[in-house]
Chains A and B, each alone.
Chain A
Amino acid sequence: MAIDAQGLADLARGAAFLGSGGGGDPHNGRLLGEAAVARHGPIALIAPESLADDALVVPCGWIGAPTVSAEKLPNGREVMAGLERLERLMGRKVDAVMPIEIGGGNGLAPLVAAAQLRLPVVDADGMGRAFPESQMAIFNIRGLAACPAILTAACGSTVVIENSDNLAHERIARAVAVAVGGIAHMVEYPLTGAQTRENAIRGSVSTAIRIGAAIREARRAGTDPFAALFEAMRRSALYAQAGVLFDGKIVDIERETRAGFSVGRVVLESFGGGESMDILFQNENLIARRGGEVCAMVPDIITLMDRETADSITTERLKYGQRVKVIGAAAPQLLREPRALAVVGPAAFGFDERYRPIEALNGWR
């Protein structure tokens, strides 16, 4: 499969949904990708199964606060500089790249470098959605090393991190991102082909493309884009359940850029008044309460979408008065295992509530 201009737009739309509000603005990533595809041609998307066991596969993504990414744009050298430095460090060429997370702009992060270097993108990612912190990747959950990792920034800085503790790596990387202005590109968790096959969330890139295509086609045909989204989710092997959690308008948004994250709370009210929803976020939407009762929580997906067009609204683009539907979806099964919940479940974000699956909380099926 090859990703052309339309595939890129579909991927941007699908990843914006799967990002649970995070991963950064998909529009700028799409513009960069379009320019790269126009210059270098479509990008190859390959199945993890086709990787050689000893291939070098490098996850890419931006680290920092999405609120900054809407304003301070990339220089354009960041991804290539990171990959080149990693190749020097490891003494070999990169064979394939993939998104560290299939969310927002980060779902498209490796595409420009892939086009320039004529590298394939692996149809997989490290999170099955987007999460705010590096150690929340499935690779850490499965005991793989994040380092060597390389941060590159618009100002030209390059920082190599070598640390065997993946949590320490996240803290150092976060501090570097803050120091260079709140956003930096990072290559981390360099993997072998075999490790990618065994541990990555497989099929997530093509799933995002299919979700984006379903919404696009529904809009063109004048049918309900939400119904199309749910149908595409049901057909995917990764995300079994999805549905509407709330329909209303944003009556308060409190959002702060703090310690390298965008953190805050959004409050919604139903159109007739009466019902309300409260969502807390740290880059990504983490927990949604309807009338004070939890109705969705990490690692399940919570995304706010324009209630007419089904455009996903990432957390940095939320505005007072927006009329939205809050859509929830079950996280991939890999993220619901006990060892994963310890790293990406509610307790990992300081919530007291025990994890309950979204389908149980909402009586789906």
Chain B
Amino acid sequence: MRVGVDVGGTNTDAVLMEGNEVVAWTKNPTSPDVSGGVAAAIDAVISKGGIRHEAISAVMVGTTHFTNALVERRGLDRVGILRLASPSGEALPPLTAWPAELCATVGDSVYLLPGGYEVDGREIAPLDESRVRAAARELRSRGIAAVAVTSVFAPLNAAMETRAAAIIKEEHPEAAITVSNAIGRVGLIERENASILNAALTSLATRIVSSFESALHGLGITAPLYITQNDGTLISAARAAAYPATTIGSGPTNSMRGAAFLTGCKDAIVMDVGGTTTDIGVLANGFPRESSIAVDIGGVRTNFRMPDVLALGFGGGTRIHLDASLHRAGGLDENSLRIGPDSVGYRITEEAMIFGGHVLTASDVAVAAGRVHFGSGRPPDFSPAVLAGILSQFRRLLEEGIDRMKTSREPARILAVGGGSFLIPDSLTGVAEVIRAPHAHVANAVGAAIAQVGGQVEQVVNYESVPRSATLERLKAEACSRVTAAGGDPDTVEVVDVEEVFLSYLPGRTAQVRIRAVGDLGRQLAGAHAHDGATVGAANGH
């Protein structure tokens, strides 16, 4: 049995799954300390399922905490940013084109230092160790512990980043260092951006992941804990704590995969309505549609593999701003009405009117209109005209979102998921049908529970000894077998990424090849560390 958990800004959902069956589910408010909510949710599905703790083989957690932190600019660390590239690249310094508020949060400790490699392996400039040392000392004295280090062509040769990190560690032992070669591929700006985001999330990630661990510990669960990544595969908790940026997109990935699983639909638009946002993504041939070029995270360009999602600031906890004196009179002044984008988040059960609070939320309007029944307090006392006016604004928001994500004029099929999916009406312009599957309100947790296993092979190869096609076939087979060895179902394994970079400074036709395969989880997870995409035949030619 597996437990899938989705830790959102508003709710923490959990499902208990046996094979393809949802045995039990729960939806609890996210607690301010995160850990309590996670423990309560897991405990609830275990007791609802009537099973013993030992029957759990794995706990998979997906969280939007890191995305929310970036979007809301909170809980982020100031980052010391070292770029080893000068004199190249000075025209486009780090943080170029970042949103101003995020820049202000991350800080302006940028060091443009000599270094980096040319494509042919020469150094652009030698690493200036004394300047790296000075930067580390300065960061230490300013109390900045999160550090991102990026050098030109680090994916081809990581030596300079490795050396710089070692020097920083000597001068600044508390530093948490992200080196770009560990987080991204060729494309300096995107890789550097991802490294800076990762560094900014360092202490938050450590805190959140350890709160997951303490939740499990408190319940006496010894099954391994996994975190879901951007591409829908699992990593260990320890790895997630070091590389939170690789999990930033897991929320939409999980809800889309969960929606596809629960409905059996392969082509549809998925609308995941949470407490704060509505994420709209597209399923094409059963897979979340990805952006070909670059993905913006919190307004920052990266090149992660993750779904192309439109996030609307509209969810169950979204505040409705209107002039009370006007709406009581029975009419609705459209000009005085504003929907969000602020949300009461997890405080919905105290602040929303249906829970006896004083804040008007989207959920209060839906209850007042008879769309859904929940809560303990009295819904707002609006005239039918006022309700209709507000609901038509909701509809307009959703229809605009659908229209932006649609790629054809054909009416779309909508998969409504998430705790706030009651906000999606059954008929919408441009929509053929709205499908609400059983358990759709916890689709995200289902997506975590059915997360995939990934396997990766990285090797430096010489095509003059074995031809390219034979070499690639061998490495693809090896990546696939790593997936099955880690518990992937052999019938579902497929190669999702092949990266080949020719190393022109080595003799012959020598290339660095990285192949990644993924597969659905079979009945059992294998070894606890097989999912980290451990590399084999490590690069040996540098």
Mark A residues whose CB is within 8 Å of B. Answer: 27-28, 31-32, 34-35, 65, 67-68, 70-76, 154-156, 178, 181-182, 222-224, 252-258, 271, 306, 308-309, 311, 313, 317, 319-324
Is B261 an interface residue, CB under 8 A from the partner? no
Choose one: B90, B301, B496; the contact of A75 (CB below 8 Å): B90
| Contact status of A72 and B153, CB under 8 A, knowing A306-B293, A309-B291 | yes
> Considering the complex of A and B, which 8 residue pairs feature the smallest CB-CB distances, nearest first?
A76-B91, A73-B89, A306-B292, A154-B88, A320-B498, A181-B118, A256-B502, A222-B403
Q: Is the CB of A311 within 8 A of B97?
A: no
Tell me, in angstroms, the Cα distance from A322 to B498 when the chains sit together.
11
Q: Is the CB of A74 within 8 A of B92?
A: yes
Choose one: B85, B282, B294; the contact of A73 (CB below 8 Å): B85
Tell me, in angstroms, the Cα distance from A313 to B290 when the chains sit together.
14
The winner among B97, B284, B292, B407 for most chain A CB atoms within 10 A is: B292
Q: Is the CB of B186 within 8 A of A70?
A: yes
| Contact status of A154 and B87, CB under 8 A, knowing A72-B124, A181-B124, A182-B120 | yes
Q: Using an 8 Å CB-CB cutoff, how does the interface string of B152-185 with A read, 1 for contact, 0 for none?
A: 1100000000000000000000000000000000
Tell me, in angstroms, the Cα distance from A232 to B291 when the chains sit together.
24
Is B222 an interface residue, CB under 8 A from the partner? no
A223: nearest residue on chain B (CB-CB)?
B409
Q: Is the CB of A256 within 8 A of B119?
A: no
A-B interface pairs (CB < 8 A), number: 124
A219: nearest residue on chain B (CB-CB)?
B404
A68: nearest residue on chain B (CB-CB)?
B119
Q: Using an 8 Å CB-CB cutoff, how does the interface string of B258-285 with A read, 1 for contact, 0 for none?
A: 0000000000000000000000001011
**10 further interface pairs, Cβ-Cβ under 8 Å (given A70-B186, A72-B118, A306-B291):** A70-B188, A71-B119, A71-B186, A72-B152, A74-B91, A75-B87, A182-B119, A182-B120, A319-B292, A322-B292
Q: Is the CB of A320 within 8 A of B499?
A: yes
Q: Is the CB of A75 within 8 A of B89?
A: yes
7 interchain pairs, CB-CB under 8 A: A71-B152, A71-B153, A75-B91, A76-B90, A254-B500, A257-B502, A319-B499
Tell me, in angstroms, the Cα distance from A331 to B116 when the chains sit together.
39
Tell me, in angstroms, the Cα distance from A68 to B497 when the chains sit together.
21
Tell me, in angstroms, the Cα distance from A224 to B410 when the chains sit together.
12
Say which size band chain B's interface belongs to: 35 or more
B301 contacts which chain A residues (CB < 8 A)?
27
Q: Is the CB of B116 within 8 A of A155?
A: no
Is B187 an interface residue, CB under 8 A from the partner? yes
Tell me, in angstroms, the Cα distance from A200 to B509 when the chains sit together.
40
Tell me, in angstroms, the Cα distance from A342 to B292 when the chains sit together.
36
Is B122 an interface residue, CB under 8 A from the partner? yes
Query: What's the least CB distance linking B309 to chain A, in Å?
Result: 13
For the residues of B in contact with A, the DSSP-based class is: loop
B119 contacts which chain A residues (CB < 8 A)?
65, 67-68, 71-72, 181-182, 257
Q: Is the CB of B118 within 8 A of A182?
A: yes
For the residues of A in contact with B, the DSSP-based class is: loop
Is B189 an interface residue, CB under 8 A from the partner? yes
Chain B positions 485-501 with a Cβ under 8 Å from a chain A Cβ: 495-500
A68 contacts which chain B residues (CB < 8 A)?
119
Query: What's the least CB distance linking B292 to chain A, in Å?
Result: 4
Query: What's the least CB distance linking B351 to chain A, in Å?
Result: 36
B495 contacts which chain A residues (CB < 8 A)?
320
A178: nearest residue on chain B (CB-CB)?
B120
Is B137 an interface residue, CB under 8 A from the partner? no
B289 contacts which chain A residues (CB < 8 A)?
308
B504: nearest residue on chain A (CB-CB)?
A257
Q: Is the CB of B291 within 8 A of A72?
A: no
Tell me, in angstroms, the Cα distance from A156 to B88 when the chains sit together.
9
Q: Is the CB of A31 within 8 A of B292?
A: no
Q: Is the CB of B124 within 8 A of A155?
A: yes
A258 contacts which chain B residues (CB < 8 A)?
502, 504
B294 contacts which chain A residues (CB < 8 A)?
27
Tell me, in angstroms, the Cα distance from A72 to B118 when the chains sit together.
8
Choose one: A34, A181, A319; the contact of B122 (CB below 8 Å): A181
A256 contacts which chain B residues (CB < 8 A)?
502, 504, 509
A263: nearest residue on chain B (CB-CB)?
B502
B305: nearest residue on chain A (CB-CB)?
A321
Query: What's the least CB distance linking B514 to chain A, in Å?
Result: 10
Q: Is the CB of B403 within 8 A of A72?
A: no
Tell me, in angstroms, the Cα distance from A143 to B76 when the chains sit together.
60
Query: What's the least CB distance linking B155 to chain A, in Å?
Result: 8
Is B96 an interface residue, CB under 8 A from the partner? yes
The winner among A28, A68, A72 for most chain B CB atoms within 10 A is: A72
Q: Is the CB of B500 within 8 A of A70?
A: no
Tell me, in angstroms, the Cα distance from A231 to B250 when the chains sit together.
39
Q: Is the CB of A28 within 8 A of B285?
A: no
Is B327 an interface residue, CB under 8 A from the partner? no
